[in-house]
A = this chain, B = another copy of it.
Amino acid sequence: MAAELDPAVLAGDRALLERSSTADRVADILRARIAEGFLSPGTKLSEDAIGTALGVSRNTLREAFRLLTHEKLLVHELNRGVFVRVLTVQDVVDIYRVRRLVECSVVRHLGAPPYDLANAEAAVEEGERTAGDGDWRGLGTADIHFHHAVVDLAHSRRLTELMTGVLAELRLAFHAMDNPREFHEPYLGRNRELLTVLRAADLVKAELLLTSYLDDAERQLVRRYSETIALT
């Protein structure tokens, strides 16, 4: 069954909401808590508990819920409330199907260099830094940033937006991995290699690397993920 939220988790966040639109800020907070894993998949988000914890009205909170539901981080069950999304194995498979199609196509059609690889470079460095600190969850974030930067090379607002959503969903699956170091660490070197190949504008090789990267990650994630789900 769904775990119930402890309102104390959010008590410290009240100070954060002194900017732009309240519902947006509430959504930002909840999004961050979900990304960090404080609110794990399957958790029920009670209107009363969270509304009280953050000191916002029900209407405003429900607006924030709607925003996150549209982002597919929450699911709404009629007359039952909202819950942190629980991905199915099919979701994971579909996410990698999309990643393969989009990321590989972007690389394939990059055209003539030079490419602006600054963000990709920064993401790899972020990964090396977090790995050095033993921050394996941060390494997962850096990995997501790297692949986001690759998609950004297409300079398409809609593709960028699509991948923002898809990668946020993917993070939900990452939480199911009980050994994040074992999972994320090997891909840091592969990202570095891909960056080097991109710098050399060897698009054919880059696409090959990317394909095998995604195949491996999907295989690994689906195996471990389905095991974890089976326990629930």
Contact = CB atoms under 8 A, between A and B. Distances in A.
B101 A154 contact: yes
Q: Is the interface of A mostly helix, strand, loop or mixed?
A: helix
A104 B21 CA distance: 40
B156 A97 contact: yes
Q: How many copies does the complex hold?
A: 2
A102 B159 CA distance: 10
Nearest to A160: B94
A64 to B, nearest CB: 12
A29 interface: no
A157 interface: yes
The list of the 4 closest CB pairs from A to B, nearest first, reads A70-B70, A105-B105, A101-B105, A98-B158
Given A97-B158, A101-B102, A105-B105, 17 more contacts: A59-B59, A66-B66, A66-B70, A70-B70, A94-B157, A94-B158, A95-B158, A97-B154, A97-B159, A101-B105, A101-B109, A101-B154, A101-B156, A101-B159, A158-B162, A158-B166, A162-B162
17 contacts: A20-B78, A59-B59, A63-B66, A66-B66, A95-B158, A97-B159, A98-B159, A101-B102, A101-B105, A101-B106, A101-B159, A102-B102, A102-B105, A104-B105, A158-B162, A158-B166, A162-B162
